[in-house]
């Protein structure tokens, strides 16, 4: 089967190829976003391919998580699992025969050879190479075995892997973002394409798929740049036209090291659970390595599609800045409609095992909109409305003990007399009470807030009390400290 050369002038086809590890790393989410934007901008096709050859980790559940996160970010794929397409299947475990077919072809044509070296032997030779100050890559031991040597290894019952025979020449990668990257032949040693258990390595599977799925562009993280000269040679051996490559700058933490779990939260699912809005994360990720101009920070999805361009992707590592993301999320929260916020905050409260009344959430949204930088924070601020299990936190407990239980009882009696239970009336009565107590407003209201909401930080007090209702407010004031 010869690979057909790519027709000239065909439209863009690009892909994201996650290995389902149980979560979607923000670096992969950014790569997905850039591919999606690139495809949408050019009217091309965005493909999702699942690199699930690591069978232990690649459960259906893990694949479901990746797809759920891409959908949550609004990155819909035109071809891939669940939607199908002309070049499927789109899960590598369903394509295994294609990799063995290519491997057999390479073996027959001399582009690959059987390698009988054991892991122990390889390790020992790497150690010796390092000791001699030589690069530790594969030394080509099995590349030119005689028939007799091969037969002897087979007779010994040795496991056999298949290695790609790299042409012994330097390779230049033309990268759309980084320009030319040169690789010396000595650093491009023969590498395994099929393991002894018959499974393909990433280097082979991704290259074969990119050809068979007619990719025109491979846009991926810079950590994969060392794979590119090897994959180019595989594609050459297939007799196919390579895609164009664009390697995105690394996403790093504040310490300039590649962003990893060590830095805290790196999973898209974490941001979702913490109440970040997908539009905020999309906007943030778009700017993690790309800019439109020096000044524009906020982009709607349509604006991103309209303006995204690989030529404005930076070469420099992009530092993940949680504070900026939170700030951006706050902006999108303030922009969101009441209906949307009611929906997501209700959802967040449900996630906290509460049973919120959406009409109460809706009434409370204007009180918290300006005070929350994540939806989770909104949920936290409103929790006291949906549970009577309100235990004052440390600061709240201090404020209560400073004012004393008698003070709270008195506040309850005053509020009991309020006829019309509105924020206005509650305010009038509480201010009168504060003046009668000869206390500052802050000293008087802190313990009341603490008893009613369990915290010294809450939505505005009078409105909070109005929403909580008379009976529950009085009960809290009377039972606190009792």
Closer residue to ligand GLU, CB minimum distance, 118 or 257: 257
The distance of closest approach from Cβ of residue 51 to ligand GLU in the complex, given in angstroms and rounded to an integer, is 4
H-run or E-run covering 433? helix 423-436
Q: Work out whether the CA dihedral 351, 352, 356, 361 comes out positive or negative.
A: negative
16, 35 in Cβ contact below 8 A?
yes
Judged by phi (left if over 0) then psi (alpha if -120 to 50, else beta), residue 154 lies in: alpha
The distance of closest approach from Cβ of residue 228 to ligand GLU in the complex, given in angstroms and rounded to an integer, is 9
Closer residue to ligand GLU, CB minimum distance, 248 or 429: 248
165 Cα distance to chain centroid: 36
3-state secondary structure of 66: helix
Cα–Cα distance between 161 and 157 in angstroms, integer?
13
Question: In terms of residues, how long is the chain?
Answer: 482
Structure-block tokens of residue 372: 């929350």
3-state secondary structure of 367: helix
Cα–Cα distance between 396 and 391 in angstroms, integer?
9
- The closest residue (CB) to ligand GLU is 220
The distance of closest approach from Cβ of residue 18 to ligand GLU in the complex, given in angstroms and rounded to an integer, is 5
The distance of closest approach from Cβ of residue 58 to ligand GLU in the complex, given in angstroms and rounded to an integer, is 11
Closer residue to ligand GLU, CB minimum distance, 250 or 385: 250
Closer residue to ligand GLU, CB minimum distance, 201 or 455: 201
Q: Work out whether the CA dihedral 174, 177, 180, 182 comes out positive or negative.
A: negative
> Is residue 261 annotated as part of the catalytic site, yes or no?
yes
Binding interface with ligand GLU (CB under 6 A): 17-19, 28, 51, 206, 220, 224
Cα–Cα distance between 113 and 129 in angstroms, integer?
22
3-state secondary structure of 462: helix
Structure-block tokens of residue 472: 């529950």
348, 341 in Cβ contact below 8 A?
no
352, 377 in Cβ contact below 8 A?
no
The distance of closest approach from Cβ of residue 28 to ligand GLU in the complex, given in angstroms and rounded to an integer, is 6
Closer residue to ligand GLU, CB minimum distance, 21 or 398: 21
93, 145 in Cβ contact below 8 A?
no
The distance of closest approach from Cβ of residue 187 to ligand GLU in the complex, given in angstroms and rounded to an integer, is 20
The distance of closest approach from Cβ of residue 24 to ligand GLU in the complex, given in angstroms and rounded to an integer, is 10
Cα–Cα distance between 443 and 415 in angstroms, integer?
18
306 Cα distance to chain centroid: 23
The distance of closest approach from Cβ of residue 223 to ligand GLU in the complex, given in angstroms and rounded to an integer, is 7
Quickly tell me which residue has 């060590």 as its tokens: 262
Q: Locate the DSSP E strands across 17-156.
A: 45-48, 112-115
DSSP per position, 101-139: HHHHHHHHHTSEEEE---HHHHHHHHHHHHHTT---S--
Closer residue to ligand GLU, CB minimum distance, 285 or 336: 285
Closer residue to ligand GLU, CB minimum distance, 48 or 452: 48
Closer residue to ligand GLU, CB minimum distance, 114 or 224: 224
Q: Which of 233, 261, 395, 402 is catalytic?
A: 261
The distance of closest approach from Cβ of residue 292 to ligand GLU in the complex, given in angstroms and rounded to an integer, is 25
Closer residue to ligand GLU, CB minimum distance, 65 or 344: 65
DSSP H helical ranges for 355-422? 358-368, 375-382, 394-403, 405-416
Cα–Cα distance between 209 and 14 in angstroms, integer?
12
DSSP designation for 317: -
Count of Cβ atoms closer than 10 Å to residue 353 Cβ: 7
Closest of 163, 159, 165 to residue 196, by C-alpha: 159
**Catalytic residue list:** 261
């Amino acid at each position: 089967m010869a690979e057909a050369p790519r027709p000239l002038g065909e439209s863009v086809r690009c892909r994201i190829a996650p290995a389902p590890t149980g979560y979607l790393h923000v670096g992969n989410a950014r790569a997905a976003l850039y591919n999606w934007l690139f495809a949408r901008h050019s009217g091309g096709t965005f493909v999702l391919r699942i690199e699930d050859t690591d069978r232990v980790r690649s459960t259906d559940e893990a694949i479901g998580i990746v797809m759920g996160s891409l959908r949550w970010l609004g990155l819909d794929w035109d071809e891939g699992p669940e939607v199908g397409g002309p070049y499927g299947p789109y899960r590598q475990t369903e394509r295994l025969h294609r990799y063995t077919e290519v491997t057999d072809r390479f073996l027959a044509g001399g582009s690959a050879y059987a390698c009988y070296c054991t892991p122990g032997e390889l390790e020992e030779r790497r150690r010796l190479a390092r000791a001699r100050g030589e690069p530790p890559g594969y030394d080509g031991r099995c590349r030119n075995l005689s028939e007799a040597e091969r037969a002897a290894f087979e007779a010994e019952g040795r496991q056999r892997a298949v290695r790609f025979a790299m042409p012994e020449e330097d390779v230049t990668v033309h990268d759309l973002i980084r320009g030319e990257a040169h690789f010396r032949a000595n650093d491009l040693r023969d590498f395994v394409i099929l393991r002894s258990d018959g499974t393909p390595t990433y280097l082979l599977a991704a290259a074969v798929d990119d050809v068979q799925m007619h990719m025109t562009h491979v846009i991926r993280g810079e950590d994969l740049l060392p794979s590119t000269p090897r994959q180019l040679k595989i594609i050459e051996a297939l007799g196919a036209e390579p895609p164009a490559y664009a390697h995105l700058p690394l996403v790093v933490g504040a310490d300039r090291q590649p962003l990893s779990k060590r830095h805290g939260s790196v999973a898209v699912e974490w941001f979702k659970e913490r109440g970040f809005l997908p539009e905020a994360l999309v906007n943030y990720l778009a700017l993690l390595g790309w800019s439109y101009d020096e000044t524009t920070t906020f982009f709607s999805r349509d604006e991103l599609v309209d303006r995204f361009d690989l030529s404005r992707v930076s070469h420099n590592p992009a530092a993940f800045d949680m504070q900026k993301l939170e700030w951006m999320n706050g902006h999108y929260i303030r922009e969101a409609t009441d209906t949307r916020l009611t929906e997501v905050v209700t959802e967040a409260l449900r996630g906290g095992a509460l049973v919120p009344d959406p009409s109460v959430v809706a009434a409370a949204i204007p009180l918290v909109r300006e005070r929350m930088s994540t939806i989770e924070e909104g949920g936290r601020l409103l929790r006291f409305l949906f549970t009577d299990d309100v235990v004052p936190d440390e600061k709240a407990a201090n404020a209560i003990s400073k004012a004393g239980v008698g003070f709270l009882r008195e506040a309850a009696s005053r509020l009991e007399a309020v006829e019309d239970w509105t924020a206005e009336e509650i305010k009038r009565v509480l201010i009168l009470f504060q003046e009668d107590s000869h206390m500052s407003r802050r000293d008087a209201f802190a313990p009341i807030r603490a008893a009613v909401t369990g915290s010294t930080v809450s939505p505005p007090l009078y409105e909070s009390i109005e929403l909580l209702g008379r009976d529950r407010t009085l009960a809290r004031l009377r039972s606190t400290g009792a």
